[in-house]
């Protein structure tokens, strides 16, 4: 699993990326003026389809799909928005969104309701763009990573590369010899049998707090 992204569960212009994508085929991205125009258009779309945390889940999904379609059209992404299942997760704690694929083909986009409730539409719109990058690269290049192609295209879409943790972990496993910490959102072998493990950085003893 990849946080805020691809599960088999946000393109810099100075970088040379060999992965084929439709986004880098247009001449529009070659000028600063065109890039600024796309940034303005993104801001306009974000405002147009904005919904507030008080909306219903149905209203939220409807707005997300309209926004995703508009962004995909703007950047000529290979994203079958209306063929994907868009759903809400009420359990996720570590990621704001995820793309679920079957046999390498994206079939579902899952967005975390709590993240939207806490952070609002602007943050969730960034997550939607992040997931659109994943879907596009999966369709074009079978690439679900956060590698060079992802970073480059995410920059064009002003999409976050990673999600911030938005819910506190239930358990924190700390090393007594160095600052390393491991976070867990539910009980696990590491939590239950912490004495059987050692710090991956220094080999020190671990404790649960």
Residues with catalytic function: 131
- The distance from CA 84 to its chain's CA centroid, rounded to whole angstroms, is 16
Inter-residue contact 95 to 88 (CB < 8 Å): no
User: DSSP characters for the chain?
Assistant: --TTEEE-----TTS---S--SGGGSGGGGSHHHHHHHHHHHHHHHHHT---TTS-HHHHHHHHHHHHHHHHHHTT----GGGSEEEEESS--S-SEEEEEETTEEEEEEEEHHHHHHH-HHHHHHHHHHHHHHHHHHHHH---SSSHHHHHHHHHTT--SSPPP-S--SEEEEESSSS-EEEESS--HHHHTGGG-B-TTT--BEEE-
45, two tokens: 């779309």
113, two tokens: 């309701």
């Amino acid at each position: 699993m990849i946080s805020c992204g691809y599960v088999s569960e946000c393109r810099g212009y100075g970088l040379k990326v060999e992965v084929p994508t439709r986004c880098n085929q247009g001449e529009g991205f070659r000028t600063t003026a065109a890039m600024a125009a796309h940034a303005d258009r993104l801001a306009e779309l974000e405002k147009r389809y904005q919904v507030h945390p008080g909306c219903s889940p149905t209203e939220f999904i409807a707005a997300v799909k309209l926004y995703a379609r508009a962004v995909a059209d703007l950047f000529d992404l290979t994203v079958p928005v209306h063929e994907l299942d868009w759903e809400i997760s009420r359990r996720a704690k570590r990621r704001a969104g995820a793309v679920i694929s079957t046999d390498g083909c994206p079939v579902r986009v899952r967005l975390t309701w709590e993240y939207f409730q806490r952070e609002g539409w602007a943050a969730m719109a960034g997550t939607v763009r992040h997931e659109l990058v994943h879907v596009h690269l999966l369709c074009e290049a079978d690439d679900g990573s956060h590698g060079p192609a992802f970073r480059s295209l995410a920059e064009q879409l002003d999409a976050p590369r990673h999600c911030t943790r938005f819910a506190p972990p239930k358990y924190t496993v700390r090393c007594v010899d160095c600052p390393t910490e491991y976070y867990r959102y539910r009980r696990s072998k590491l939590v239950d049998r912490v004495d059987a493990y050692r710090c991956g950085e220094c080999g020190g003893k671990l404790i649960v707090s």
